[in-house]
Amino acid sequence: MRSDILDPEGGETGVDSSLLDDVVLDDVGPEENDADGASPGLFDDLLEGEPIFENKEVLRPSYTPRKLPHREEQINSMATILVSALRGDTPSNILIYGKTGTGKTASAKFVSDELESTSQKYEVPCEVEYINCEVTDTQYRVLAQLANKFVDKNEAVIDERLEELTELRERAREDESVLGDTGFASVEVVTDHIESLRADREAFEQVPMTGWPTDRVYNTFFDAVDYHERVVVIMLDEIDKLVEKSGDDTLYNLSRINSELESSRVSIMGISNDLKFTDFLDPRVKSSLGEEEIVFPPYDATQLRDILRHRAEVAFEDGALTDDVIPLCAAFAAQEHGDARRALDLLRTAGELAERDGTDEVDENHVRKAQEKIELDRVVEVVRTLPTQSKLVLFAIIMLEKNGVHNINTGEVYNVYQSLCEEIDVDTLTQRRVTDLISELDMLGIVNAVVVSKGRYGRTKEISLSVPIEETEAVLTSDSRLSEIENTQPFVQTRFDS
Ligand SMILES: Nc1ncnc2c1ncn2[C@@H]1O[C@H](COP(=O)(O)OP(=O)(O)OP(=O)(O)O)[C@@H](O)[C@H]1O
Ligand SMILES: [Mg+2]
């Protein structure tokens, strides 16, 4: 979020305006510069006092912690299933479910690292491929990414082997007895083998980002995986996004691949925070994918406290947090729905706000401000991405509130909405559609619409804004279409006159 969109002046807003700035230095005014161009005080103030963070990275979402308290059970279940890969068998496919921020990705990455390192230790051919389907969201891309990974791996294996063999051949040329128990009868046999490996290497090609027919991509992937014996675990994170975007073909193909592979075996681990996505799957895919299911329940406040404590130890300087900071972050995030990501965001933001205050201690107030800031960021994002019609409806509600209209009803919103549509020349929806849009805004938590009984006049909706008015208006008018609305006063006036 950019502070200048919302409140360039830092003026009167419902919310502490200092919350609106991102924690960056670019909002320090140029007027503080000295004549000689130096800027005393620019960084000095910020550097003053003890630092709060020892290692802020630890609180960022990109950091994968080595310890995951309260996920032992889920991690053990995964390991119990995947251990067959280390015995050379095919593990059952696994489906992992759980709400956002319940540690699914972190646990899956942890398990995959352990699996790979153990397989190296015991020299068993087992590989894990992690794909985030939010980014890689079509069958073509998933298969291409897998194909290219395995092509790379095969090439690396071949190169290594070629080096060994070329060296062996050199030595054998001097003294053929070095071939002893290598299984090569003569220098010529070694040469033949080298030739055939070179041919294999030539035959592998990288799949381009687009352009090939899907079956060619699939075949390239197939040949690359099956090039030598191994067990491959494919982790498809945010698997629901893949199904939503491009159906279940990929999963269908992958779940049947083992019946055709000769040397290798593939097992799939799907991860989703949408519990219902399997409803959209072909029943065969559904049963194959869900051979094993592991549920990640939300964290409660006590568990979140443990998680935060572990991270805070590394992230903050000793004594930088007052005693109530972690419990409060945990309590806020537990209310949210037990989301560890939210808890960590709160803690980091609270630390950043304290840092900017120039204090060397994060306290309860910083957490409360952080909660407001994060909530406001969410609102800004939701409002910014609303469709134009919804923005107009919301704008109408804001106009009415700004003009002191309370207990706004749908008819009033509709009148102002109509004038706004005329003003910027967009189609006007029916009152019924506008009522639907108001309900949607209600569901998003942007407005509050309650049905009240007016006795013999029937029932009506009373609408009020549930988000800070100034900031929301600023986000709306930053939309180029709505910015054409110039003087809004007359629209509301029209309504009063009529
Ligand atoms: N038990 C835990 N211990 C320490 N950190 C955790 C734990 N669970 C989650 N986290 C942290 O919380 C954040 C969110 O976790 P993660 O990304 O694994 O959630 P997720 O379940 O994959 O959510 P989503 O469904 O939104 O992808 C990450 O920064 C992660 O490191
Ligand atoms: Mg995740």
Per-residue pLDDT tens digits for 321-358 = 999 999 999 999 999 889 999 999 999 999 999 999 88
- Parallel, antiparallel or unpaired: strands 447-453 and 459-465: antiparallel
Contact 423, 431 (CB under 8 A): no
Tracing tokens 């919310």 back to the chain, one arrives at 15
Of 473, 495, 476, whose CA–CA distance to 410 is shortest? Answer: 495
Which tokens is 454 given? 């007016």
Residue 299 has what pLDDT?
A: 96
Q: Cα separation of 394 and 441, whole Å?
A: 8
Partners of 271 in the β-ladder? 96
Contact 94, 107 (CB under 8 A): no
45 pLDDT band (50/70/90 cuts)?
A: low
Radius of gyration in angstroms for the set of CA atoms belonging to the chain, rounded to a whole number: 30
Rounded to 5 degrees, what are φ and ψ at 165?
A: -70, -40
Regarding the beta carbon of 103 and ligand 1, being less than 6 Å apart is answered yes
The pLDDT mean for the chain works out to 87
Q: Higher-confidence residue: 16 or 239?
A: 239
Helix H segments across 385-468?
Answer: 388-402, 410-424, 431-443
49 pLDDT band (50/70/90 cuts)?
A: low
Residue identifier of the C-alpha nearest atom 25 of ligand 1:
100
Partners of 253 in the β-ladder? none
Residue 198 has what pLDDT?
A: 95
Regarding the beta carbon of 68 and ligand 1, being less than 6 Å apart is answered yes
- Mutating to test ligand 1, I would choose from 104, 341, 345, 346 the residue with most ligand atoms within 8 A of its C-beta, which is 341
pLDDT surpassing 50 at residue 32: no
Regarding the beta carbon of 105 and ligand 1, being less than 6 Å apart is answered yes
Q: Higher-confidence residue: 161 or 32?
A: 161
Residue 40 has what pLDDT?
A: 62
Residue 316 has what pLDDT?
A: 94
Q: Which helix (H) or strand (E) holds 452?
A: strand 447-453
Q: What is the pLDDT of residues 273-324, one digit of tens each?
A: 988 888 889 999 999 998 999 999 999 999 999 999 999 999 999 999 999 9
Q: Cα separation of 238 and 133, whole Å?
A: 5
CA–centroid distance, residue 102 to ligand 1 (Å): 5
pLDDT surpassing 60 at residue 38: no
Regarding the beta carbon of 102 and ligand 1, being less than 6 Å apart is answered yes
Tracing tokens 């919103």 back to the chain, one arrives at 413
pLDDT surpassing 60 at residue 25: no
pLDDT surpassing 80 at residue 4: no
User: What residues have their beta carbon closer than 5 A to ion ligand 2?
Assistant: 105
Domains of the chain, start order:
72-296 (3.40.50.300), 300-384 (1.10.8.60), 386-497 (1.10.10.10)
Q: Output the CA–CA distances (angstroms, integers) from residue 494 to 267, 481, 498, in the order listed.
A: 66, 22, 6
Q: Cα separation of 267 and 288, whole Å?
A: 10
Q: What is the mean pLDDT of residues 103-124?
A: 94
**Positive or negative: CA dihedral 49, 50, 54, 58:** negative
Regarding the beta carbon of 347 and ligand 1, being less than 6 Å apart is answered no
Q: State the amino acid at position 162 in one-letter form.
A: L
pLDDT surpassing 80 at residue 44: no
Q: Output the CA–CA distances (angstroms, integers) from residue 344 to 53, 329, 424, in the order listed.
A: 14, 8, 43
Share of the chain above pLDDT 90, in %: 71
Q: What is the mean pLDDT of residues 17-30?
A: 43
Chain CA centroid to CA 169, Å: 51
Q: What is the pLDDT of residues 364-422, one digit of tens each?
A: 999 999 999 998 998 999 999 999 999 999 999 999 999 888 889 999 999 999 999 99
Q: Cα separation of 293 and 280, whole Å?
A: 17
Q: Cα separation of 331 and 305, whole Å?
A: 8
Regarding the beta carbon of 84 and ligand 1, being less than 6 Å apart is answered no
Q: Which of 5-14, 290-299, 470-479 has the lowest mean pLDDT?
A: 5-14
Q: Which ligand is nearest to the CA of 340?
A: 1
